[in-house]
Structure 1
Amino acid sequence: MAQRARTVLNKSPSLTSILTNTSIKTNATDMVYWVELCIERGKDLSIKDFNGTSDPYVKVYYGTEEKYVTNTVYKNLNPIWNEKLSFFVHDLNIPISFCLFDYDRIGRDESMGSAKIDLWKLPLEKNYLFQNKFFILLEFFFNITINKTNIRFYQARDLSAKDINGKSDPFCVVELDSTRLRTHTIYKTLDPVWNKSFIIPVQDIHSVLELTIFDEDTNKSTEFIGKIAIPLLAIQNGEKKWMTLKDRKCILPVKGIIEIEATLIYTNLRAIIRTFNPRQVRYYQQDGKFRVGVFKQHINRVRNMLKCVVNAAKFVNYCFEWENPILSFCSFN
Structure 2
Amino acid sequence: MNSERTRNSIDISGRHAGVMRQRSLWRPSSLANLVSTARRPRMLHSYHSYPSTDNISNNAEPPGCNNDKQRQNCAVVPYKESNKKGWSTIVTIVIVEAKGLPDPPSDGAQHSLYCKIRLGSETYNSKTVQSSHQPIWRERCQLHLNKDHILRVSIWDKGKQRNFMGSCVIDLGSLGKERAHDIWQDLDDGFGAIHLNVTMCAIRNTEEVSNVPSVDEVEEKFTFLDFNDWQIAGKLQVKVLGARGLHGKPNAYCTLELNNERVQTPSVKASPEPTWKKYYIFNVRDVTSTLEVNVYDYSLVSSMGLWTDHLGKVSIPLLRIRNGEMRWYALKDKNNRSTAKGNCPRVLLEMSLVFNPVKASLRLFRPVEIKYISKKPPKFHMNLVYGNLIFIRDTFNFLYGLNEGIKRSFEWENRELSTMALLGWLLFWYFMRLWTTPLLLLIPFMYFWINRDNQHERCFMRQYSKDLIETGQNNDEKVGTNSLTSKLQALPELTITITSGIEYLASIAERLYNLLSFKVPFLSYLTMIILVMASAVLYWIPFNFLMMALGVYKYTRKFLDPERILNNDLLDFISRIPDNEILKDWEELSVPEPPITKHSSLASTRTSSNNF
Gap change, CA 1:211 and 1:104, over 3 Å in 2: farther
Aligned partner of 1:56 in structure 2 is 113
Shift of 1:41: 3.9
The change in CA–CA distance for 1:98 and 1:29 in structure 2 (over 3 A counts) is closer
Asked if the contact 1:46/1:112 (under 8 Å) is kept, the reply is: no
- The 3 A distance-change label for structure 1 pair 29 and 253 is closer
Q: 2: distance between equivalents of 1:154 and 1:170?
A: 13
Residues 110, 223 of structure 1: alpha-carbon distance in 2 compared, 3 angstrom cutoff = farther
1:113 correspondence with 2:202: no
* 1:80 matched to 2:136: no
Is the contact made by 1:243 and 1:257 (CA closer than 8 Å) also made in structure 2?
yes
Task: Kindly indicate whether residue 275 of structure 2 is the aligned counterpart of residue 193 of structure 1.
Answer: yes
Distance 1:104 1:207, change over 3 A: farther
Within-5 A mapping of 1:210-289:
210-220=292-302, 221-254=307-340, 255-284=344-373
> 1:135 aligned to 2:222?
no
| Contact 2:102-2:165 at 8 Å conserved across structures | no
- String of CA shifts for 1:220-260, please: whole Å, max 9, x gaps: 34211111110011111111111111112322122311110
Query: How many Å separate the matches in 2 of 1:56 and 1:234?
Result: 43
Aligned to 2:198: none
Query: 1:210: Cα distance to partner?
Result: 0.8
Deviation sequence 1:129-162 (CA, Å, 0-9, x none)? x8987332799xx96746221111111111111x
Structure 1 residue 43 corresponds to structure 2 residue 134: no
Please state how far the C-alpha of 1:266 moved relative to its aligned partner. 2.0
Displacement of 1:281 in angstroms is: 2.0
Q: Give, in angstroms, the shift of residue 275 of structure 1.
A: 0.6
What is the rounded CA distance, in whole Å, between the counterparts of 1:168 and 1:188 in structure 2?
5
- Residue in structure 2 matched with residue 149 of structure 1 by the alignment: 236
| Counterpart residue number, 1:170 | 252
Residue 219 to residue 257, structure 1, CA distance change in 2 (3 Å):
same
Structure 2: any 5+ residue segments left out of the alignment? 1-47, 53-95, 139-148, 172-183, 196-227, 376-612
Deviation at 1:192, TM superposition (A): 0.6
Name 2:407's counterpart in structure 1: none
- The separation in 1 between residues aligned to 2:296 and 2:49, in whole angstroms, is 34
Report the CA distance between 1:117 and its aligned residue. 10
Distance in 2 of aligned mates of 1:210 and 1:80: 34
Amino acid at match of 2:155: L
Distance across 2 between alignment mates of 1:229 and 1:148: 18
The sequence identity of aligned pairs, in percent, is 25
Given the superposition, is the C-alpha separation of residues 238 and 59 from structure 1 closer, same or farther in structure 2, using an over 3 Å criterion? farther
> Residues 132 and 223 of structure 1: is their aligned pair in 2 closer, same or farther, counting only changes over 3 Å?
closer
Secondary structure of the 2:316 match is strand
Task: Report the Cα distance in structure 2 between the residues aligned to 1:95 and 1:276, rounded to whole angstroms.
Answer: 40
Q: Give the counterpart letter for 2:296 in structure 1.
A: F
- CA shift at 1:84, angstroms? 11
Which has the larger Rg? Answer: 2
Q: Residue 304 of structure 1 aligns with which residue? A: none
**Native 8 Å contact 2:101 2:165 kept in 1:** no
1:101 corresponding residue in structure 2: 156
Q: Identify which of 50, 60, 76 aligns with 1:30.
A: 50
Taking a change above 3 Å as real, the CA distance of residues 103 and 238 of structure 1, as seen in their structure-2 partners, is farther
Name the structure with the higher strand share.
1
Decide whether aligned partners of structure 1 residues 218 and 152 sit closer, same or farther in structure 2, where only a CA change above 3 A counts. same
Residues 194 and 111 of structure 1: is their aligned pair in 2 closer, same or farther, counting only changes over 3 Å?
A: farther
Distance 1:70 1:135, change over 3 A: farther
Shift of 1:175: 0.9
Within 1, Cα distance between the matches of 2:100 and 2:126?
A: 11
Q: Is the 8 A contact 1:44 1:135 kept in 2?
A: no
Separation in 1, partners of 2:245, 2:104? 56
- 1:180 is the counterpart of 2:262: yes
Tell me the C-alpha RMSD between the 2 structures: 4.5
- The question of whether the paired residues in 2 share the 8 Å contact of 1:100 and 1:114 is answered with yes
Distance, in Å, in 1 between the alignment partners of 2:288 and 2:98 is: 27
- Unmatched 5+ stretches in structure 1: 1-27, 86-93, 119-127, 162-166, 287-333
Task: For 1:44, give the aligned amino acid.
Answer: D
Change (3 A) 1:60 1:216: closer
Which string of whole-angstrom CA distances, capped at 9 and with x for unpartnered residues, describes residues 149-197 of structure 1?
A: 1111111111111xxxxx2111111111111111111111111111011
Look up the equivalent residue of 1:135 and give its one-letter code: F
CA distance in 1, matches of 2:51, 2:359: 15
Deviations 1:36-86 (A, max 9, x none): x98444233468xx866642356899x99xxxx998543x4xx2327699x
Please state which structure has a larger fraction of its residues in helix: 2
Structure 2 partner of 1:90:
none
User: Which residue of structure 2 lines up, in the alignment, with residue 293 of structure 1?
Assistant: none
Tell me which moved more, 244-253 or 173-182: 244-253
* Relative contact order higher in (CA < 8 Å, ≥ 6 apart): 1
Q: Which amino acid aligns with 2:133?
A: I
Distance change >3 Å, CA 135–CA 217, structure 1 → 2: closer
- Deviation of 1:97 (Å): 9.1
- Report the 3-state secondary structure (helix = DSSP H, G, I; strand = E; otherwise coil) of the residue aligned with 2:301: coil
